[in-house]
Amino acid sequence: MTSTPLGLTVEEASLAYQGTPLFENLSLTLSPSSWCCLLGRSGCGKSSLLRLIAGLDTSKGAKVRLSDHAGNALPAQAFAWMAQQDALFPWLSVIENLLLGDRLQGQSKSSARRAEAIALLETLNLADKAEARPYVLSGGQRQRVALARTLMRPSPIVLMDEPFSAVDAITRYDLHQLATSLLSDRTVLMVTHDPGEALHLSDRILVLSPSGRLAPFDCGGPPKALSLSQRADAEQELITLLGHQ
Amino acid sequence: MKDSRSLSNAAFALLAVLLLISGWQLIVSITDVPRYILPSPEAVLAALVRYSSLLWSHGLTTGLEVVLGFISGTLLGIATALTLAAWSPVRKLVLPLLLASQTIPIFAIAPILMLWLGYGLASKVVMATLIIYFPIASTCYDGLRQTPTAWTDLGQTLGASNAQQLFRIRFPAALPSLCSGLRMAATAAPIGAVIGEWVGSSHGLGYLMLQANGRMQTDLMFAALFILIVIAVLLYQGVDWLCRWLVPWQSLSEH
C-alpha cells in the first residue's frame, strides 16, 4: 500500500502571527517508520508546528524547510493528515470517504482500491458500515473510519493532531492498539497533550515549551519499550516537566 | 417515533387551521359584518366551488410564475455565490454593488419591469427572481465562507485543487446554509409574482383579486387568496422535502 519507508527532516521552522514569533528556527528529524510524539502545554504552538509541516499554514509568518531523513526532497503526497475531529464528509458514504483522496487525484474508480478499502474496514471491524453515512456512526466508529481514511493514503509520513483525544478511554485504548499495528510501516508525528498516551505509543518524545524551544525527553530508551513501572515514573517526570513550563 | 411525531405535528397544524376558521366564523356571526367586507368561511367555500375553473386557470399562471422565478432566482443566486467565493477580484468589485442594490425596494421597480418586459409572464418571473435572488446568494455565499477548517485542511492534505475544494467540499458543506435560504425564498417568491400581477397583468391570481375587488366580490378575493396560500404552502413543503433529501445529516441532528 505504501512506498518505501521515509523519514522526515524539518529545519528552520518559524511561525509568527502579526510579527510576534510563536517559535523560530525549530528543527527535528524523524527516522523512517518511527513514531514520535510532540508534547506541550495548551497554546505552546505544537498544533501550529504540525500544521506548518503539513503545509496547511500559508500565512506570511510561516516558514519551514522540509526534506526526507537523507536530505532529499519529499515526494508529492508525502503526508497523510488526521485531526482531532474526524472530519468525515457527511454527504459521502464511509467507503466514498475512504476513496475520496483517489478521486481528488483524478484516479478512476478501481475495484482493487475498493477491495483494499473494504479489507481495511474489516480489520477495523466496520465492514457492515461501508455504505453507511458517517453521521449514523458512533464517535469511536467515526474516528476508526478517519484512521482508515488516513491509512488509505499512500503517504509514507502520517501527521496526527490529537487524533484520539475526543473519544472515551476504552475507545481510545482500542484505537491505540489498532493504530500501533496498522501504522507500523509509517513514520508518525503525533501531537498530544497526554503524557501517558505519548509514552504508550512513541519511539521518541519531543517537548515544545511555551518559549518556543523543542527538546527531546530522555527516558533511557524508546518510551513504548519501557516496563509498566518505568513508564509510571517517566509519566510522573513528564507531568512535572510540563507543569513547570 | 419519527412518523408518530410528524403525525402529531400534522394534527396540531390541522387544529390550528380549525381554530382559525372557527374564530373567523365567530366574528362574522357576532358582528354581523356585511359580506362584502368579510365573507363567512362558508361563502368563501361556496366561491371556491363556483369559480373553481376560473381559479384553476389563474392559479396555474401564478403557480408557473412562482416556480419559474424560484428556479431562476435559485440558479442565479448559487452562481453568484460560487463566483464570489472563487474570485476575490470579482468579490471586491461586485459585493459592494450587490449590497447597495438591496436598498432599492423591489416593489418600486415593478413598474419599470412592466415597461421593459410587458404585461405577460416574463415580468412576473423576473420579479419573483429578483425578490429571492439576494437571500439565496447571501446564504449560499455565507455557507461557502464558513466551511469548517477541519474539512478544508483535509481537502488540502488530500491534494484537492481550488476547484475541487469549491465544488466537492465547500459547496456541499454550504448546503445547510443554502437550504435556509431556499426555505426563505419559497415564502418570498409568491409575493414577487403577485406584486408583479398587481402592477400590471392580464392573467393570474393577483389580476383576479384586483378584478374581484373592483366588483366587490370579496368572497372571490378570499378564494383567490386561499389558492395563493395553497401554492405557497406546496412550494414550501416541496423545498423542505428537497432540503431534507439534500442535507440528511442536518435534519437528523435536529431531532
The pLDDT of residue B255:
39
- Pair (B139, B227) in one structural domain: yes
- Pair (B131, B247) in one structural domain: yes
Does some domain include residue A101? no
- In one-letter notation, the amino acid at residue B3 is D
The pLDDT of residue A3:
62
Does some domain include residue A57? yes
**Average pLDDT of the segment spanning B60-83:** 96
- In one-letter notation, the amino acid at residue A52 is L
ipTM over 0.85: yes
Report the DSSP beta bridge partners of residue A182: none
The helix (H) or strand (E) run that includes residue A190 is strand A187-191
Distance separating alpha carbons of residues B225 and B201, to the nearest angstrom: 17
- Pair (B111, B231) in one structural domain: yes
DSSP string covering B147-209, please? --HHHHHHHHHTT--HHHIIIIIIHHHHHHHHHHHHHHHHHHHHHHHHHHHHHS-SSSHHHHH
The tally of domains found in chain A comes to: 1
Q: How far is CA B59 from CA B199, B200, B211, B213, in A?
A: 17, 16, 15, 17
Does some domain include residue A167? yes
Q: Which of A51, A81, A98, A104 to mutate to test the interface with B (most CBs of B within 10 A)?
A: A104
CB proximity under 8 Å: B 131-190 to A: 148, 150-151, 153-161, 164, 168-169, 172, 175
Does some domain include residue A78? yes
How would you classify the pairing of strands A204-208 and A214-216?
Answer: antiparallel
CA distance B215 to chain A (A): 55
Does some domain include residue A237? yes
Q: What is the CATH number of the domain that holds A64?
A: 3.40.50.300
- Pair (B23, B74) in one structural domain: no
pLDDT of A136 over the 80 cut: yes
The pLDDT of residue A221:
83
Tens digit of pLDDT for each residue in A84-106? 888 899 999 999 999 999 888 88
Does some domain include residue A45? yes
Range of the domain at A194: 8-88+155-243
Distance separating alpha carbons of residues B43 and B52, to the nearest angstrom: 14
Range of the domain at B25: 1-32
- Pair (B54, B2) in one structural domain: no
- Pair (B65, B168) in one structural domain: yes
The pLDDT of residue B70:
96
- Pair (B17, B74) in one structural domain: no
pLDDT of B85 over the 70 cut: yes
pLDDT confidence tier of residue A81, bands split at 50, 70 and 90: very high
- Pair (B153, B180) in one structural domain: yes
Tens digit of pLDDT for each residue in B12-38? 989 999 999 999 999 999 998 888 889
pLDDT of B7 over the 80 cut: no
Q: What is the CATH number of the domain that holds B176?
A: 1.10.3720.10
DSSP alpha helices (H): ranges in chain A?
A: 46-54, 94-104, 111-123, 139-152, 169-182, 195-201, 228-243
Does some domain include residue A14? yes
Distance separating alpha carbons of residues B76 and A25, to the nearest angstrom: 49
The tally of domains found in chain B comes to: 2
- Pair (B131, B8) in one structural domain: no
- Pair (B16, B87) in one structural domain: no
| Residues in CB range of A243: below 8 A, 6 or more apart | none
Residue that is written with C-alpha cell 502520517 in the block: A158
- Pair (B7, B80) in one structural domain: no
C-alpha cell at B60: 396555474
Of the candidates B246, B140, B163, the one whose C-alpha atom is nearest the C-alpha of residue A133 is: B246
- Please return the burial class of A4, using the count of CB atoms within 10 Å of its CB with bins 0-12, 13-18 and 19+: exposed
The pLDDT of residue B254:
47
Does some domain include residue A117? no
- Chain A residues in contact with chain B using a Cβ-Cβ cutoff of 8 Å: 51, 54-56, 76-77, 79-81, 83, 85, 87, 89-91, 100-101, 104-105, 133, 135-136, 153
